[in-house]
Amino acid sequence: MSKKRTGVFVCHCGTNIAATVDVARVAKEMADENTVSFTQEYVYMCSEPGQESVVQAIKDNELDSVVVTCCSPNLHEKTFRDNAKRAGINNFTCEIANIREQCSWVHNDKAKGTEKAIKISRSVVRRVNRNKPLEAIAVNVTRKAMVIGGGIAGIQAALDIANAGIEVILVEKQATIGGRMLQLSETFPTLDCSQCVLSPKMVEVKRHPMVKLMTYSEVQDLTGSVGNFQVKVLKKPTFVDPDKCKICDHCTEVCPVVVPNEYELNLNARRAIYIPYAQAIPASFTLDESACLGLNPVVCGKCKDVCEAGAINYDMRPEIVTENVGAVVVATGFDLYGQENMPELGGGKLEDVLDGLQFERLISASGATKGHVLRPSDHKEPKEVVFIQCVGSRDPAKHCAYCSKICCMYTAKHARLYKKHVPDGRAYVFYIDIRSGGKGYEEFVQRTMEDDDTLYLRGRVSKLYRHNGKVRVLGTDTLTGQNVEIDADMVVLAQAMVPSKGTTEIAKTLKIGRDKDGFLAEAHPKLRPVESVTAGIYLAGAAQAPKDIPETVAQAGAAASKVIALLSQTTLSRSPLIAKVRPSHCTGCGMCVDACPFIAIRLENGKAVVNEALCEGCGSCSATCLRAAIDVKNVTQLQIHEMIEACLA
Amino acid sequence: MSEQQAYEPKVVAFLCKWCSSAGSDLAGVSRIQYPPNATPITIPCTGAMSPMYILSAFNKGADGVLVSGCHIGDCHYIEGNYLARRKMHLTMELLKFIGVEPDRFRMSWVSAAEGAKFARVVTDFVNDLKPLGPQDKLKKVVAHD
């Protein structure tokens, strides 16, 4: 092997690196390396002049490999590999040494920081010495997408993808699509009726020829990689044939089982056979197996007897459907932070203390009280209502550290809607700050305060308890420094938004990361806000972070455009950093075959053979091989041993 | 005592690309300070971690070796960290057998969201290594050969 001609490019990153790392010294030390024939430092290597100088230097100095010592490879590995290619050398001979996130940003001591930066850079220079030119592997793309979650985010993403002529499978866990938005009464800041905005979209997505709707279904498993995922979806039995069901309602009249209605957030009850909502899509009843007396004509069977359409079928069984898709959008939405976490506010056990979503159902024309504001305990109109913001939000010591973003706005909306329903009522709002950034939002809050005469009190509530048939609210008005005591007829808590139940499981199934609060993690907070860390899986809506409807719709559109861009390609390139066998060393012991999590290795004529289409390049095989006969390309054992040496020099 | 304070253990930290390396990036983005003793090497997966790397690091003069991967169950490659856990446990036994203090080797699980945890893991490890002093068992054996 002729000696490598490596160029090392050291970035100052303004002062981000240069303030705590002596960049000139890093460049000088690298120049002393045997394989390095050119070094350069520059204030912003990723800027256009910086990139140009890399290209020029490769050409002028006949470099065959490049090390850029700068920020994390997650940011600019692609940038500089593209430049290497532009300069006419193989892009896989370019590597990044991360001396920003892993060094300059975390060490204040310049002398020690510089030493570490030199070690990191040197280890990457040694690695590059043995990097082989590789070509990305071309793979075909399955031109079909899956959207998980049928709320507004999922519906919007599915429609946008389908309108581009790409088939979409929309998977929803519940019996109807619509999600949280379907439960809302009106939306801020225009007070549009939520269902009037959403229902046409639900119908559109159902009728769209490119959309396949799978309700009452859950994603169980995902394998494969970008462009070619295989997804296993569990279709739970509804025991009602949606094509035959005429939604005549006769079955609910005879069903003897009464259970709390989760769609109405337990404000009323439903039967074991039910339709979540009159305009549900698909327009069909669902038999809740867990509540039903036994799916057996001998035990009950009343619903089947009265169903004239013959839609009820007790023999339906769970079904697992495998779908091949090229991309996935995850839009699994949010739940509210549980009241049980806040015993001082009743812990969910105090009557007439509602959460925000329950209040939405209470004032909704389609809700349990047909839009009349009646408190649950005695069905009387509440004349004094206290709204409490930041319940569980912005409380790093005990609850969620983050701001749930939408509560200021929806509390103002609740206060206004309450006043519309009960003009002689009095609304109080406890708040910490009012955060009303958004088009028309500040004006909306001002009108709630001024026109609707809502009393805004700046402070937290310390305790809620029942007192003489009312809910006593003990709080503080920090602007006057006075303690406040209100005997309210009803209290509404604006609880924090948390990732929906099951987000942990879906993140595990899809192998996408979550952030410290449990929301799905985006690949980069600024530059890649709708991509997950796993290529080909995109994020939309409140599953990624608390957000309101316009933001959700915008993000869903962005995720859809990413999917469309991906699936518009006929082939994709896959990383060529996969396992390679050295047949002369292989004894055919088969240990790598057992270690491979992807079943990508098999024995053929007593030698291990790698299936390049299946190998993901994890390297478990190489760590198992006793004879170093199998290695991941460009991450070989020899390279790692030399990197270790460089780290300890 | 002053000699103790002056001693700075040399650590090689093997980080998996998907979780712990991303976690160390987050520590950087969050500007969480930790001792500069550990030099990171990013590997695709802790499953690719050969016990040879650990021995190699010790015989090249490391005072401590850290291996950090995705939480159990969260491996990007399905089960790489399970393989790693088994192998690292055996490596620990091997180190004991050949007379290297097992405390010089540590395995941790740091996700991409745990920047603060990454900083804490490194800080704790470096602090725990200091009382052990320089590692010369494995280094010497090789040197005499």
Nearest-5° angle of CA A316, CA A322, CA A326? 145
Instruction: Kindly state whether A623 is in contact with chain B, defined as any CB-CB distance less than 8 angstroms.
Output: yes
Q: How close A515 comes to chain B (CA, Å)?
A: 5
Interface contact flag, A106 B31, Cβ < 8 Å: yes
pTM here is: 0.84
Domain boundaries, chain B: 2-144
Half-sphere exposure of A128 (CA within 13 A, CB side): 32
Nearest residue in chain B measured CA to CA from A21: B36
- Domains, chain A, in order of start with CATH, read 6-129 (3.40.50), 144-236+320-333+500-567 (3.50.50.60), 335-498 (3.50.50.60), 578-632 (3.30.70.20)
Structure tokens at B7: 């001693």
The residues in B 39-98 lying below 8 A from A, measured between CB atoms, are 39-45, 47-50, 52-53, 56-57, 60-62, 73-74, 76-80, 83, 87
* B18 contact partners, CB below 8 Å, separation of at least 6: A533, B45, B70, B75, B76, B112
CA torsion sign, A344 to A349 to A355 to A359? Answer: negative
**Can you give the C-alpha Rg of chain A in angstroms?**
30
> Comparing C-alpha atoms, which of A549, A533, A629 is closest to residue A541?
A549
- Which of B17, B41, B71, B118 to mutate: most A Cβ within 10 Å? B41
Within 8 A of A598 by CB-CB distance, chain B residues are: 77-78
- Which of B53, B77, B120 to mutate: most A Cβ within 10 Å? B77
* A617 contact partners, CB below 8 Å, separation of at least 6: A575, A577, A578, A579, A632, A633, A635, B44
Name the strand (E) or helix (H) holding A539.
strand A537-539
Interface contact flag, B40 A120, Cβ < 8 Å: yes
pLDDT reported for residue A423? 94
Nearest neighbour of B27 by CB, restricted to A106, A109, A119? A106
CATH class of B2-144: alpha beta
HEC secondary structure over A500-521 = CCCHHHHHHHHCCCECCCCCEC
Bin A200: left if φ > 0, else alpha if -120 < ψ < 50, else beta. Answer: alpha
The residues in A 585-614 lying below 8 A from B, measured between CB atoms, are 595, 597-598
Instruction: Kindly state whether B6 is in contact with chain A, defined as any CB-CB distance less than 8 angstroms.
Output: no
- Indicate whether B75 pLDDT > 90: no
Instruction: Kindly state whether A115 is in contact with chain B, defined as any CB-CB distance less than 8 angstroms.
Output: yes
Tally of CB atoms within 10 A around A623: 26
* A539 contact partners, CB below 8 Å, separation of at least 6: A329, A330, A331, A512, A520, A522, A530, A531, A532, A555, A559
Name the strand (E) or helix (H) holding A217.
strand A217-225
CA distance A212 to A196: 23
Nearest neighbour of A508 by CB, restricted to B44, B73, B80? B73
Structure tokens at B27: 């520590």
pLDDT band (50, 70, 90) for residue B141: low
What does pLDDT average to in each consecutive run of 10 residues of chain A (649 residues)? 90 96 97 96 96 97 96 94 96 97 96 97 97 93 97 98 98 96 94 93 96 97 91 96 93 94 92 91 94 86 93 94 97 96 94 96 90 92 96 95 96 96 96 95 95 93 96 96 96 97 92 88 87 92 97 97 96 92 96 92 95 90 94 96 94
Q: How close B138 comes to chain A (CA, Å)?
A: 14
Interface contact flag, B24 A101, Cβ < 8 Å: yes
Interface contact flag, B77 A508, Cβ < 8 Å: no
Tokens 């256009």 found at: A48
pLDDT reported for residue A129? 96
Interface contact flag, A103 B36, Cβ < 8 Å: yes
Q: pLDDT tens digit string along B77-105?
A: 888 999 999 999 999 999 999 999 999 99
CA distance B28 to A582: 39
Q: How close A198 comes to chain B (CA, Å)?
A: 34
pLDDT reported for residue B28? 96
Interface contact flag, B50 A623, Cβ < 8 Å: yes
pLDDT reported for residue B143? 45
Instruction: Kindly state whether A524 is in contact with chain B, defined as any CB-CB distance less than 8 angstroms.
Output: no
Across residues B4-25, what is the average pLDDT? Answer: 91
Q: What is the DSSP letter of A133?
A: P
Within 8 A of B39 by CB-CB distance, chain A residues are: 116, 119-120, 123, 647-648
pLDDT reported for residue A527? 84
Half-sphere exposure of A581 (CA within 13 A, CB side): 25
Interface contact flag, A533 B18, Cβ < 8 Å: yes
Q: What is the DSSP letter of A522?
A: P
pLDDT reported for residue A431? 97
Contact A8, A35 (CB under 8 A): no
- Indicate whether B2 pLDDT > 80: no
Q: How far is CA A186 from the centre of its chain?
A: 26
Interface contact flag, A101 B78, Cβ < 8 Å: no
- Which of B24, B37, B42, B111 to mutate: most A Cβ within 10 Å? B42
